[in-house]
Chains A and B, each alone.
Chain A
Amino acid sequence: MPPGQAQTLRALFDEFADATYTLGYRILGDRHLAEDVVQETFIKVIHSLATYRGEGPIGGWIYRIGYREAIAISRKRRETVMDPDSVTFTTLEAPQSVEASVLQSELVTELDKAIFELSEPVRAAFTLRDIQGLSTKEVAEILDVTESAVKMRLARAREALRLRLKEYLV
């Protein structure tokens, strides 16, 4: 790989690896599979970067590859019904105190469980729009659906999560 290209790819990896991992994890609910999503996504980025025609932000292009990878992995394991209780949840580092740590850990676990109770298309839209902060238009392009469909999925996600997480919303 030419040095210039390696530098570009490293910069893209630094900028988008976490976001791709988040998207993979939020769709698949499995850290190891989310890591696979990152690796497969960047293999495709490396192979296709030379032919990338710069239509829209490069982040959108990478998210779209990541989303397709996550869906492909999800399809492969579809015969296995995912149990939200079996998911390995992420806990946060550097808690302020033991009590705060327990509360924070409980909250993060509940946030994770709640999001995995949403359908896959709804989770994907919610992750990209409300966690990653992309615009509705960008999310629609990545998921290859209309902006109305994104808005509908977001409304469904937010309402389901509001009802599910009511006790934490004081």
Chain B
Amino acid sequence: MNVSCNELDVLLPEFLDGTLTPDQEAAAAEHLATCNACALEVNELEGVTRLYKEYGALQLPDDARKRIMGALNLEA
């Protein structure tokens, strides 16, 4: 199965999530192997998710943690 750039756009979210069927996945990979523009877009999208995975999660500050645990009567 061959897919166009527009068709790949539709498949892209599930391609990034790894939830395509094997046939769709193979078709997407085949397109990406020959289309630099789409391959670049996929690289950038993967870069976005990688950056947010690395830097997007936060830690509750220690002072707030202590205060909230105190308010909830959850101190050890």
Chain A: residues with CB nearer than 8 A to chain B? 1, 6, 9-10, 13, 17-19, 21-22, 25-26, 31, 34-35, 38-39, 42-43, 46, 90, 92, 107-108, 111, 115, 126-127, 130-133, 136, 151, 154-155, 158-159, 161-162, 165-166, 168-169
The residue that B41 contacts in the complex, of A131, A154, A162, with Cβ under 8 A, is A162
Q: Give Cα A99 to B21, complex, Å.
A: 45
Chain B: residues with CB nearer than 8 A to chain A? 12-14, 16-17, 19, 41, 43-45, 47-49, 51-53, 55-61, 64-65, 67-69, 71-74, 76
Chain B residues lying within 8 Å of A26, measured Cβ to Cβ, are 56
- Interface SS majority for chain A: helix
Taking a contact as CB atoms under 8 Å apart, the answer to whether A169 and B48 are in contact is yes
Taking a contact as CB atoms under 8 Å apart, the answer to whether A130 and B58 are in contact is no
Q: Once A and B bind, how many residue pairs between them come within 8 Å at the CB atom?
A: 100
Taking a contact as CB atoms under 8 Å apart, the answer to whether A21 and B16 are in contact is no
Taking a contact as CB atoms under 8 Å apart, the answer to whether B73 and A6 are in contact is yes
Show 10 residue pairs from A and B whose CB-CB distance is below 8 angstroms, ordered by the A residue: A13-B74, A17-B68, A107-B51, A111-B56, A115-B52, A131-B53, A131-B56, A151-B13, A154-B13, A161-B52
